[in-house]
């Protein structure tokens, strides 16, 4: 992933956080954190486990922990979300 692709995904997630319903916003908040982890770390063997992701969501005050965790996981895996405008 190039820096330009990374920045594009961060900007997209920021826009979606601001414009979506709460559950989707939580997904995008998680995705934003996860893609930052993916870009900075990039080592597939060191991905956080589901329990750690849920703990991060709770620490960040997520209103929908499962949506946040799903977004974080997608971001950590470097996935590009399909449900974008």
Domain membership of residue 52 as a residue range: 3-76
Q: What 3 state SS string does the chain have? A: CCHHHHHHHHHHHHHHHHHCCHHHHHHHHHHHHHHHHHHHHCCHHHCCCHHHHHHHHHHCCCCCHHHHHHHHHHHHCCCCCCCCC
Number of domains composing the chain: 1
Q: How far apart are CA 15 and CA 47, in angstroms?
A: 26
For residue 84, being part of any structural domain is answered with no
For residue 83, being part of any structural domain is answered with no
**Residues 10-40: tens digit of each pLDDT:** 998 999 888 878 888 899 999 999 999 888 8
**Residues 41-57: tens digit of each pLDDT:** 866 667 777 788 888 88
């Amino acid at each position: 992933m190039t820096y330009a692709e990374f920045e594009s995904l961060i900007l997209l997630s920021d826009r979606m956080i601001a414009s979506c319903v709460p559950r989707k916003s939580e997904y995008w908040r998680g995705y934003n954190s996860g893609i930052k982890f993916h870009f900075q770390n990039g080592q597939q063997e060191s991905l956080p486990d589901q329990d750690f992701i849920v703990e991060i969501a709770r620490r960040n005050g997520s209103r929908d922990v499962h949506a946040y965790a799903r977004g974080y996981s997608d971001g950590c895996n470097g996935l590009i979300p399909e449900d974008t405008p």
